[in-house]
Structure 1
Amino acid sequence: MKRLILDKLLVWKKSPYRKPLILKGVRQVGKTWILKEFGRLYYDSVAYFNFDENPEFKQFFQLTKDVNRILQNLMLVSGQKIEPDNTLIIFDEVQDCPEVINSLKYFCENAPQYHIACAGSLLGIALAKPSSFPVGKVNFMQIDPMSFTEFLLANGDENLVHYLESVESIEPIPEAFFNPLSEKLKMYYVTGGMPESVLMWTEARDVNAMQEALSAIIEAYERDFGKHPNASEFPKISMIWKSISSQLARENKKFLYKAVKEGARAREYEDALQWLVDARLVHKVYRCTAPGLPLSAYDDLSAFKIYLVDVGLLRRLSQLAPSAFGEGNRLFTEFKGALTENYVLQTLVTQFEVEPRYWSQTNPPYEVDFLIQRENDIFPVEVKAETNTKSKSLKKYKELFADQVKLRIRFSLDNLKLDGDVLNIPLFMADHTDRLIGMALGNQVTH
């Protein structure tokens, strides 16, 4: 499978400012595979150390801070040669090894000629703990579930990927591309972007194996909930996790603690929710009171929405059968378009540095699904799961914040077009949002 993060890893390898790398990502998103593949393609050799399988390796880091001694011990125990610049050293499952994480500081300062990459499934949790963390001495990279683009590549649809990349102006996509892309997107909603699930579909075309792969991943996550340091949080994390699909199926997708458990209060469940956020299993999207910079200054911390890390996991967790794939546009509209909103958020998170927000007002009720910051501009985004696309909330948003609105964005099943200042992006082009906004702004200048 081609993962687009390889390009970023290559930039890291070649950078004169390279530091040891920490690759973050949820369990089974493909961290180990991508690091080994990167080593295979771009290094003479790979030295791989897994601290879950070989906990005795931790001792080498507990006994000394001298990186040369650590490397010598690792070479002796593995029988592998480790050469500066030519060997990629992979430390895997480091989330429970503070000494290994701490040693990165000394590798950075005393042995920068060694290329080191670390991975671990609950690293977000480990890094949220205040410990002797090597601040400023490491590079971070995030690996997310496979995007729709990566799904198309895995599915052998390079021609569709090349076509989408070649689009250079805002004009309708011909039906010969539009229809197959819409169909493939439905399939992506079913499999999601977890590599094993995608593999079961793209290689074996086996729906049952794909369903089982997703179930196994969800079970692995649920077992991880038990790793919260405070055992009493375990049932709370589970309850929040299980409530996500019903929360997203509401008209108003604002997260409600009382939907987790009757009478539940925020302060009882905040820690459990934060654990899921730190683990990157969920995305927390705050309500924004006004489109100002920085966006975080306008967060309403009491109101937020929760989305899942992956649309396929959301479908599986919601127990929606894959057969919905064959039923017209049902998959896009199911749960009031929750799968579609989750999919759009997933791709926006990877394209824009600032986490998206949403905007709403109560009297009368209006809501814009997302606000995204691109450079120093903020754009309102509406997600429509169908082709009927009247946007009352986008209209209202423009009335209220006329000076700040260069462009309004709508995702739907309609074709690509720029209608005044409303850019309609077909859902299957969501991976190209950043580029399409750039084109649309260019268009406005010339007209």
Structure 2
Amino acid sequence: MERKISVRLHQWKDDPHRKPLLLYGARQVGKTYSVLEFGKTHYVNVLYVNFEANTEAVNIFARDLHPDRIVKELAALYGQTIHPSQTLLFFDEIQVCERALTSLKYFCEDPAGYHIISAGSLLGVALNREHHSFPVGKVEMVSLYPLDFEEFLWANGRKELADLIRESYNSNTRMSLHETALDLFRLYLVVGGMPGAVLEYRERQDLDHLHSAQKNIIDAYIADMAKYAAPDETTRIMEVFRSIPTQLAKPNKKFQYRVIKSGARANAYASSLNWLKESGIIILCNKVNEAVLPLTVHHDPSFFKIYMTDTGLLCVHFSIPADQILQNSARLDTIKGILTENYVCFALRVNGYTPYYWESKGSAEVDFVIQSKYGDIIPIEVKSSGNVRSKSLTQFTQHYHSEYAIRISSKNFGLDNGIRSVPLYAVHCISD
């Protein structure tokens, strides 16, 4: 499958000042596949080291961290010749080998200029542990997420439709294939962007097999919780994870610890939330008390919402009948709203934004507020249907004298009183 990460990897390879690259991402988002495909296409050979599967490779880093010795022994272990500029060294599941992570500092400083990409499913979790020595300033860091809707269209042979969506977005003109794009977007909501789920549905076109594939991914996440966290912490992580559907289904979607269980407190569950965030399973969206530049100064860490990174997995977590979403059943309007809002948060995050939300003393709430690289503060309202009546966005724009706002809904492209209408299927186009 074509992935946008390949463009970023190209830029990294061509950079004369490149550093070792650290690739973050949840389990099964396609890190290993993307790097190996890139390596096979753009290098003479790829030396692939999986520290979770090969303890001998871990032992190579135990003696010292001299790059020349490490490379020589890796070449001997895997029976490959390593050329600094023609071989891609790929260290997978690097969180398993602390010394390998530390060695990236020395590879960065080594004049041989080895091309190294490292990845880990729980890399973010591992880096928060005190015993890991992180090579500060000596690595580049990039995150890989599940497929967004545009990549989903590519994967299903609809690149021409994806191009038309971008053309309509850039020119802000009505999309002629509007209903077709909406139908595919609803399909995306239930399939999600996990590569394994996308491939399963593409090959079988069967919702039962899709559900099974998605359930296996969730089971793998749960296995990680048990494997990489202490027993007590695992219990708390699982409790937070199980509470996600209830948290999102509330009229007020703000995260509440009492929803986890009676008497739950922040001091007991903060680390569990952070585990889920650093593992790439959830995204935290904080409240901003004032929607002025810079947003990060005005965010309130005490109030936040949590969303899952993938809508397909969220559907499974909700036990939602996929066919009801595809049939656009009115019985699931609330759930469709949750899925849509979840996807918007994810798509904004993929495009490099840190999404916040805003409310005015409980009388109005704007779903998302983002800050562009030019310093613009942009409010975004999300509607899963064509009913776009809402006073909150108007109240926000009047209060902050906003010249530009976005309303995401099932309506076509357009502009009305400074509010730009962006269809649900074009959220991935919102970027600087």
TM-score norm. by structure 2 comes to 0.96
Residue 69 of structure 1 is matched in structure 2 by: 69
Deviations 1:32-55 (A, max 9, x none): 000100001111111111111101
SS in 2 for 1:315: helix
Residue 137 of structure 1 is matched in structure 2 by: 138
Structure 1 distance, partners of 2:182, 2:426, is 10
Residue 148 of structure 2 is matched in structure 1 by: 147
The AA in structure 2 aligned to 1:413 is: S
Check whether the contact 2:43–2:88 (CA below 8 A) recurs between aligned residues: yes
The AA in structure 1 aligned to 2:367 is: D
When residues 272 and 294 of structure 1 are mapped into structure 2, their CA distance, relative to the original with a 3 A threshold, is: same
CA RMSD of aligned residues (A): 1.5
Shift of 1:155: 0.6
Structure 2 distance, partners of 1:121, 1:144, is 11
Residue 416 of structure 2 is matched in structure 1 by: 419
Structure 2 distance, partners of 1:194, 1:318, is 17
Structure 2 distance, partners of 1:37, 1:114, is 18
Residue 236 of structure 1 is matched in structure 2 by: 236
Residue 158 of structure 1 is matched in structure 2 by: 159
Shift of 1:112: 4.8
Identity of aligned residues (%): 39
Check whether the contact 1:332–1:340 (CA below 8 A) recurs between aligned residues: no
Shift of 1:330: 4.5
Structure 2 distance, partners of 1:264, 1:49, is 42
When residues 331 and 94 of structure 1 are mapped into structure 2, their CA distance, relative to the original with a 3 A threshold, is: farther
Structure 2 distance, partners of 1:271, 1:179, is 43
Residue 29 of structure 1 is matched in structure 2 by: 29
SS in 1 for 2:89: strand
Structure 2 distance, partners of 1:326, 1:125, is 36
When residues 330 and 41 of structure 1 are mapped into structure 2, their CA distance, relative to the original with a 3 A threshold, is: farther
Shift of 1:268: 1.4
Shift of 1:111: 4.1
Structure 2 distance, partners of 1:241, 1:330, is 27
**2:328 maps to 1:328:** yes
Larger displacement relative to structure 2 (181-190 or 160-169): 160-169
**2:89 maps to 1:89:** yes
Residue 175 of structure 2 is matched in structure 1 by: 173
Structure 2 distance, partners of 1:208, 1:121, is 27
Residue 282 of structure 1 is matched in structure 2 by: 282
The AA in structure 1 aligned to 2:369 is: L
When residues 150 and 329 of structure 1 are mapped into structure 2, their CA distance, relative to the original with a 3 A threshold, is: farther
Deviations 1:170-217 (A, max 9, x none): 12211xx11111010011001100000000111221222211110000
Check whether the contact 2:355–2:368 (CA below 8 A) recurs between aligned residues: yes
Structure 1 distance, partners of 2:90, 2:43, is 12
Check whether the contact 1:352–1:374 (CA below 8 A) recurs between aligned residues: no
Structure 1 distance, partners of 2:316, 2:229, is 28
Matches within 5 A, 1:245-256: 245-256=245-256
Check whether the contact 1:173–1:416 (CA below 8 A) recurs between aligned residues: yes
Residue 439 of structure 1 is matched in structure 2 by: none
The AA in structure 2 aligned to 1:242 is: R
Shift of 1:84: 1.2
Structure 2 distance, partners of 1:235, 1:359, is 32
Structure 1 distance, partners of 2:219, 2:302, is 30
Structure 2 unpaired stretches of 5+: none
Structure 1 unpaired stretches of 5+: 436-447
Structure 1 distance, partners of 2:171, 2:263, is 52
Check whether the contact 1:67–1:111 (CA below 8 A) recurs between aligned residues: no
TM-score norm. by structure 1 comes to 0.93
Structure 2 distance, partners of 1:229, 1:320, is 29
**2:345 maps to 1:345:** yes
Matches within 5 A, 1:4-15: 4-15=4-15
Check whether the contact 1:19–1:112 (CA below 8 A) recurs between aligned residues: no
**2:409 maps to 1:407:** no
Shift of 1:326: 3.6
When residues 329 and 159 of structure 1 are mapped into structure 2, their CA distance, relative to the original with a 3 A threshold, is: farther
The AA in structure 2 aligned to 1:239 is: E
Check whether the contact 1:22–1:117 (CA below 8 A) recurs between aligned residues: yes
Deviations 1:146-185 (A, max 9, x none): 01011001111111012123333112211xx111110100
Structure 1 distance, partners of 2:23, 2:66, is 24
Matches within 5 A, 1:381-400: 381-400=380-399
SS in 2 for 1:210: helix
Residue 127 of structure 1 is matched in structure 2 by: 127
Check whether the contact 1:369–1:382 (CA below 8 A) recurs between aligned residues: yes
SS in 2 for 1:63: coil
The AA in structure 2 aligned to 1:434 is: S
When residues 293 and 331 of structure 1 are mapped into structure 2, their CA distance, relative to the original with a 3 A threshold, is: farther
The AA in structure 2 aligned to 1:397 is: F
Structure 2 distance, partners of 1:331, 1:380, is 29
When residues 416 and 102 of structure 1 are mapped into structure 2, their CA distance, relative to the original with a 3 A threshold, is: same
Residue 99 of structure 1 is matched in structure 2 by: 99
SS in 1 for 2:380: strand
Shift of 1:230: 3.4
Shift of 1:336: 6.4
Structure 2 distance, partners of 1:374, 1:332, is 34
Deviations 1:62-82 (A, max 9, x none): 102111111110111111111
Structure 2 distance, partners of 1:179, 1:310, is 23
Larger displacement relative to structure 2 (275-284 or 331-340): 331-340
Check whether the contact 1:192–1:310 (CA below 8 A) recurs between aligned residues: yes
Check whether the contact 1:332–1:339 (CA below 8 A) recurs between aligned residues: no
The AA in structure 2 aligned to 1:7 is: V
Larger displacement relative to structure 2 (234-243 or 293-302): 293-302
